[in-house]
Structure 1
Amino acid sequence: MFTPCPTERSVAIAGRVEAFVREVVVPYERDPRNTDHGPSAELVAELRDKARAAGLMTPHILPDGDHLTQRETAAVLKPSGLSPLGPVAVNTMAPDEGNMFLIGKVGTTAQKAAFLDKLVSGQARSAFFMTEPAAEGGAGSDPSMLMTTAEPDGDDWVINGRKAFITGADGAQVGIIMARTGPKDRIAATMFLVDLPNPAVRIERVLDTIDSSMPGGHSLVAIDNLRVPQTQVLGEVDAGLRYAQVRLSPARLSHCMRWLGSTARAHEIATEYATTRKAFGKLLIDHEGVGFMLAENLIDLQQAALMIDWCADALDGGSLATTESSMAKVAVSEALYRVADRCVQVMGGLGVSRDTIVEQVLREVRAFRIYDGPTEVHKWSLAKKIKRDQLGAARHG
């Protein structure tokens, strides 16, 4: 189903990850500890113990701390997503995967020891505090609307604000908080590393959302006079928006990788159903309407895989890949939603039940069309680039 892995080491790791997810993780999919707000802390710990015993904890980061290339990471994260619980078990899930990448790129040696090591080992989870409540005019897809503030106070910073849809905040031990540090007439933000839980970071409620795969769910959070030492500024002061781009392109691509695995599995389940279930005297797949849907799935899955690898190559070449990741995010999220929707349709009543993961995959990829930038925002950004490039070419023509 997936395009060939690019290196011998990623072939080996990806094969072990796939076997582990199929043989060990999949049986947990009906575990009652899977809640509407994600798998419980007990279930996460149990799955990670098994991954650790199999030598598959955080498989995209090597024992010497080196990170696989993005193309290699794609090879590993795709099979980790074959179950919604797979990324949780082997520690390739969001937001931890993106947070580990960012701290690894920007953090100091001391910060890595204090915050990164426990994430890589799977002993802790993290949260990325950027999005803010829309009702209060806070930042969403437009980071320039950031309202949370950080004010210097001696050797510390004092942070105040409210955040919304913060994935994994409930139960996280590491936080990265984005706050405005420049005057209101200038867009400047800084990232801060924080230890959690902290009484100054209060979860007001865990939101009820369409998706349910991420531990801790998505929270509405109040930050009241949170004091953070200067040593926990991640990177440079006022450079937070630049670092966000360092994180966001690989992170949104990682989402594509994982959900490609999940939709490929949904397609497997729908295909098995269509080749065993009969109606009107023949197998479902022999009815053109059903067979064509499965054929369209193959096309969308392959195109999604190629888009992911194309964007991964751009990142591996040293580019921020802002344009490539926007294009990949739109193409892949829309394609995978079509795949999941067809799988539900092929399976009929069984497809909308929770007897298989197909209905969950549909919910998860529906949310993915919004998370990490809605499709329309990415198209708008791409349209601006088209205009900018065209006008620039005309001026120099």
Structure 2
Amino acid sequence: MESGTARATAVLDSVQIGLALLALVGSLPLRGILVSDRQLPLIIALTLVLVGYRVWLSTGDRGERVRRVGFWVTAPIVFALVWMSPLYGLYAFTGYIEGPALPRGAQRWAALIVTAISTALAQIGGPRSGLFSPGIYGVILAVNIAIAVMIALLEKERERGVTKLQRTVAELREAEARNAALQEQLVTQAREAGTIDERQRLSREIHDTVAQSLVGIITQLEAADAGDEAERAARLDRVRDTARQALGEARRAVRALASPRLDERSLPDALAGLVADVNHSGIDARLVTDGEAYPSRGDAELIRICQEALSNVTRHAGASRVVVTLGYDPEEVRLDVRDDGIGFDPAAPTAGHGLRGMRERVALLGGTLEIEAPEGGSCTVSVAIPR
């Protein structure tokens, strides 16, 4: 807004310079008619003063105070020029534009009235005109004062509108800042809530698997001393098996806690790493990619969903084979995890939070989750995320 005001001021200075010179050139043919020959040198001198002042103003940012003082210093000069040549009313009329730029209050009204006095004198043709008389001049002056009042009222209304607009813009910026802060707070709370949920889930998994296995190991070791040699050997074998199972569960918990990320890898590469981990557990797992891969906004969530689905397969399904299919369409990314395990009833309530977590992740992305577990075994988890 300030740069626009500066450009408008520069244009006004140029226009005033041009009008002053035009009035000077136009006054020359009026010598002896409306312009006195004896006054012509003074007209030229005062015109050069006005032009020099305007050129000086246009060469730099002189500030509002300099322009305000300059207006009152040049106002008598302008009136004198109009008195000697009515053509300088062209210059005097620009006071209606420059006056409202002065501070509000009596000074602005005085500037507009001074402009009206000089303009009315020019409109009647100056004191050398045959139309000049106090009565006619008074009527023309009254009209110009009415114009000045109307300009002042319009300027006041414009300033009121600008002030209201600035206040509205400030309120909108404050609201935007508050919304941004609130959004950041909500994101932080959601992130913290997700972290807490994940920790609670892992805590429950460790308690239900590793901790229970350790309890079984301790029980077998305590009972080993009470039996004979053969019974002791059988209990030690069970202890070894239980310890291996606990180690496997602990490793799975550690992998879940690590929460694999994409980093510099693509989604297919990240899923390949998860499939490789399943292969190490003794299940035949493989990854099939359909279509040309592209990054999507749901890649990170698809990794977590696939990780959860594969964890369920290794822990509960009793499967010997699992196939992860990643499909790319122009509109969506699809993920299918299909195993040949014992299956389960998706509608039955479960104690864990795995399926609920997958549904929540898919819902946040506006996708769909389907679980097919037909009678006789096998299970397919299908996820579709819009691109």
TM range, smaller chain: under 0.3
Whichever of the two has the greater Rg, that structure is: 2
Greater fraction helix: 2
TM-score, structure 2 as length reference: 0.23
Higher relative contact order, structure no. (Cα contacts within 8 Å, ≥ 6 residues apart): 1
Greater fraction strand: 1
